[in-house]
Chain A
Amino acid sequence: GAGVSQTPSNKVTEKGKYVELRCDPISGHTALYWYRQSLGQGPEFLIYFQGTGAADDSGLPNDRFFAVRPEGSVSTLKIQRTERGDSAVYLCASSLTRGARETQYFGPGTRLLVL
């Protein structure tokens, strides 16, 4: 089937604005992860879901960041009052089930630029 998809592929916004980033996981994958990747760095964990619930949100940098997965499939990462430091590539990944040994399959990412 199709891989992980993310929309939009690019997002330019102004400081202080609100943005939503969407992730469509591989069909049947119950675990979904969000990462942030800055230039020249590896992906940095933000939050992950098992089904509809956030199993671990310890990587969210502050309360401006929030993510939901209401029906256990599509997830939305929401960023309020964006700051220039939020500029990065936001990657989504899914795996068949929860567990660090499960292979994660990544989407192409959303490149966020906050002016």
Chain B
Amino acid sequence: GQNIDQPTEMTATEGAIVQINCTYQTSGFNGLFWYQQHAGEAPTFLSYNVLDGLEEKGRFSSFLSRSKGYSYLLLKELQMKDSASYLCAGADYNTDKLIFGTGTRLQVFP
């Protein structure tokens, strides 16, 4: 089975950098997804990592360490619109399913 852990809430200031951590335990790990979800809206895809290392995509970067069962999402130059929940999801090749964490609710203050 799989278990995904991430902090429930985080706060940060506009213009700052924030790192949202995610640890996972899985029997058939096939990569890790990050999704953004604004209140009352659908989750939207941010990134997918299957190999170790950092992948950068504009202000957002995602990191994966398979040996440590650890990932993080890095958000730079925070904007008010980045206030949202960030969902970490592990992909399981045994079941072809995504297992989501509870999400990290990020609040950005001016």
Contacts and interface: CB of A to CB of B under 8 A. Distances in A.
Interface residues of A, number: 23
Contact of B44 (A41, A44, A106): A106
Given A100-B31, A100-B95, A101-B91, A42 B100 contact: yes
Contacts, number: 61
B102 A56 contact: no
Interface of B: 4, 8, 30-31, 33, 35, 41-45, 48, 50, 87, 89, 91-93, 95-103, 105
Interface of A: 4, 35, 40-45, 48, 55-56, 91, 98-101, 103-109
Given A100-B96, A101-B50, 11 more contacts: A35-B100, A41-B102, A42-B87, A42-B103, A45-B98, A100-B93, A100-B95, A101-B30, A104-B45, A106-B42, A108-B42
